[in-house]
Amino acid sequence: MTIYKAAVVGGGAMGAEIAQVISYSGLPVVLKEVNEELAQKALAKIRKIYQGRVDKGKMTPQDLESKMSLVSVTTRDEDIKDVDLVIEAVPEKLDLKIKIFQALDGVVGPEAIFATNTSALSVSALAAATKRPEKVVGVHFFYPAHVMKLIEIIPGLATSDQTVADAIAFCESLRKIPIRVNECAGFLVNRLLMPYLNEAAFCVEEGSADFKAVDKAMVDFGFPMGPFVLVDTIGLDICHDVVGVLMEEYGQRMTPARIWEAIYSKGRYGVKTGAGFYNYSGVEDKTVDQVLAKIQSQSSAKKAPFTVNRLLLAMINEAALCLQENVASAGDIDVAMLAGTGFPQAKGGLLRYADEIGLDVILKELEALYAIYGDRFFPAPLIKRMVKARFLGKKSKRGFLEHA
């Protein structure tokens, strides 16, 4: 099925950027919001992205107007009745997303694809609430959508192969990198990213390192930003929702560090609110220091030192579990980490980096951390089997990947 016209429902930070990406590819797109004020705000956001390209000499003012002519905004369902694809990009509330798809079910043509930009919720549950479950698919963009190349394509249990193929072709037409991810809570990137972010928070809680030291160490390793800057950029509210989904599905190993809830409960969601783990208002602020001091006063002394690999081991172990469950291939996991999280290109990808270290070394370090911290470092059975089989990584020419 060829997509000739698309709609985006929800014009917040993600929705507006997704609409811009679609228009940039040359397709007409209708952005639907709940009121005219929000619709115009989304339109202004799209124009601002294009103006940035003009300011950098990447397009002319005439090109800007040509692209903007492909974008229209509306508050009415009937204005999107002729689209071939609807992408919902509303807040991470399952009931809200279901309500939107049910409202559109009788408006949009029966052949149209319903795509959800959810970062963690069940695609299957969304599909089951519609009259076209075979036409519902996860199409998860990453923030900022006009910059990030990765898109996760997530079929639900009822999604047809044709819908998956159409979604992949559509994303490729946007000049993005789509990877198919079999459905699980958190999908692939967020499922791997959250243990990494959580471990960074545990290190700070224990007093093993402060926020700036952890961020600096991960930037020195090669990430474009440290974990706490990343959370503030994504939004602590969004991360909070994802952590809740992961806890419900995976249990104790996803238990969040206490500081997450403490900062979230104060309405500090990051850059968007002027303060998160860091303060962006320019005014002196001791809130996080006070929160951290209280948590540390109620906790035992630090148990293990902060190291870069401690954070990465949490990701590697979760990646091994994803391989076991056939969520994605080893190659796609590395592509996802490179394109979706900024994992250092020089390291070749998360699993390639693991193979460089050696799976026997990784297993030994996981076992040591498990003895201290319990479930969140319980070694993935796949890693144990690979070590027993002498699939140790680069030194044995075979690990998560094959090496010449």
- Tell me if 109 is assigned to some domain: yes
User: What local confidence, expressed as pLDDT, does residue 404 receive?
Assistant: 87
Closest CA to 75 of 103, 105, 19, 34: 34
Which domain CATH number covers 249?
1.10.1040.50
Examine the fold and report which residue of 116, 149, 180 is the final residue of a domain before the chain moves on. Answer: 180
- Token couple for 29: 């797109």
pLDDT in tens, 364-402: 999 999 999 999 999 999 999 999 999 999 999 999 999
Among candidates 55, 53, 86, which has minimal Cα distance to 68?
53
Q: Do 145 and 209 sit in the same domain of this protein?
A: no
| Confidence band, pLDDT 50/70/90 cuts, at residue 241 | confident
Are 126 and 229 members of one domain?
Answer: no
Q: For residue 1, name the pLDDT band (cuts at 50, 70, 90).
A: confident
Does residue 54 form part of some domain? yes
For residues 129-152, give the mean pLDDT. Answer: 95
Query: Which of 156, 180, 204 is the last residue before a domain boundary?
Result: 180
Residues 337 and 377 in one domain: yes
169 with 196, same domain?
no
Q: 313 and 401: one domain? A: yes
- Convert the pLDDT of each residue in 279-312 to its tens digit: 998 888 999 999 999 999 887 766 899 999 999 9
What is the span of the domain harbouring residue 125? Answer: 6-180
Same domain, 175 and 316: no
In a domain, 288, yes or no: yes
Under 8 Å CB-to-CB from 385, ≥6 apart: which residues? none
Residues 253-278 have a mean pLDDT of: 94
Residues 150 and 224 grouped into a single domain: no
Q: Kindly state whether residue 1 falls inside one of the protein's structural domains.
A: no
Report CA 103 to chain centroid distance, whole Å.
Answer: 27
Q: Is 218 left (phi over 0), alpha (psi -120 to 50) or beta?
A: alpha
Residues 105 and 195 in one domain: no
Given this model, what pLDDT does residue 301 score? 65
pLDDT at residue 272 is higher than 80: yes
Is 106 contained in some domain?
A: yes
Q: Is the domain of 163 the same as that of 216? A: no
CA-CA distance, 18 to 21, in Å (whole number)? 5
Residue 333 sits in the same domain as residue 279: yes
Residue 123 lies in a domain: yes
Look at residue 196 and tell me if it is in a domain: yes
pLDDT per residue over 319-376, tens digit each?
999 999 999 999 999 999 999 999 999 999 999 999 999 999 999 999 999 999 999 9
The one-letter amino acid code at 6 reads A
Is the bond preceding 155 in cis, omega lying within 30 degrees of 0? Answer: no
User: Are 62 and 116 in a shared domain?
Assistant: yes
The answer on 171 and 84 residing in a single domain is yes
249-270 as b/e: b if 16+ CB within 10 A: ebeebbbbbbbbebbbeeebbb
Strand partners, 153: 139, 180
Name the region of 160 (left: φ>0; alpha: ψ -120 to 50; beta: rest): beta
pTM of this structure = 0.91
Domain count, the chain: 2
Question: Could you list the active site residues?
Answer: 140
Give the pLDDT confidence of 7-37 residue by residue, as tens digits.
Answer: 999 999 899 999 999 999 999 999 999 999 9
Q: Is 295 helix (H, G, I), strand (E, B) or coil?
A: helix
Contact 315, 192 (CB under 8 A): yes
Q: In CATH, what number is assigned to the domain containing residue 17?
A: 3.40.50.720
Q: Is residue 385 part of a domain?
A: yes
Of 145, 180, 215, which residue is a domain's last? 180
Q: How many whole angstroms separate alpha carbon 335 and alpha carbon 320? A: 15
